[in-house]
């Protein structure tokens, strides 16, 4: 139930790309790495994965670099997390809808499905455009409104 460094890095790098989208020129990996304090070689691997998933594009050579394949308001955080971490909220590496629970745990499946659905309501709602503008969807606002949400437990 944790977020990997890779996913965190990927979203941060993508946010930088989103912000640079107006510039009309590719952004070099090194600039992204510097801006977000990510080891360059790690970042390159991540960007490659994002490219394979059709989220970013790239060109090599001088004047080369990376850019988003789509407008920033059409790329969700969920997509990026899935690209680098795989499916969200799997249980023992299998999707919750494929698990059969026995005995008194029968209804546990619905709980895991609800867990996944609740993650989706956040991750699929937030786009890179939201992220860089700071105008987050209302679902995020609602969830972060209580001071309770900001303390560990």
Structure tokens at 13: 């790098």
116 binds, among a second copy, DNA, none (CB under 5 to 8 A by kind): a second copy
Taking CB under 7 A as the criterion, the residue among 19, 21, 28, 136 binding DNA is 28
Query: Does position 40 bind a second copy by CB under 8 A?
Result: no
Stretch that binds DNA, among 17-25, 39-47, 71-79, 97-105 (CB under 7 A): 39-47
Binding mask 99-138 for DNA (x = CB under 7 A): ----------------------------------------
Query: Does position 47 bind DNA by CB under 7 A?
Result: yes
Beta-carbon contacts of 115 under 8 Å, excluding residues fewer than 6 positions away, are: 89, 96
By CB under 8 A, the residues from 67 to 106 that bind a second copy are: 77, 81-82, 85, 87-93, 95, 97, 101-106
CB 13 within 8 A of CB 32: yes
Q: Could you give the CA distance from residue 142 to residue 125 in angstroms, rounded to a whole number?
A: 13
DSSP state of 107: T
Q: Could you give the CA distance from residue 50 to residue 70 in angstroms, rounded to a whole number?
A: 12
């Amino acid at each position: 139930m944790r977020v990997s460094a890779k996913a965190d890095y990927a979203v941060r790098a993508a946010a930088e790309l989103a912000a640079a989208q107006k510039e009309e020129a590719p952004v070099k990996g090194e600039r992204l790495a510097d801006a977000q304090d990510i080891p360059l070689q790690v970042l390159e691997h991540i960007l490659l994965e994002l490219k394979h998933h059709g989220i970013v594009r790239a060109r090599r050579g001088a004047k080369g670099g990376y850019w988003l394949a789509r407008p920033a308001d059409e790329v969700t955080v969920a997509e990026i997390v899935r690209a680098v971490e795989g499916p969200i909220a799997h249980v023992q590496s299998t999707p919750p809808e494929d698990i059969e629970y026995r005995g008194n745990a029968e209804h546990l499946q619905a709980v895991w499905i609800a867990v996944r659905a609740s993650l989706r309501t956040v991750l699929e709602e937030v786009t890179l455009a939201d992220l860089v503008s700071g105008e987050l969807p209302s679902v995020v606002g609602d969830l972060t409104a209580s001071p309770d949400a900001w303390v560990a437990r």
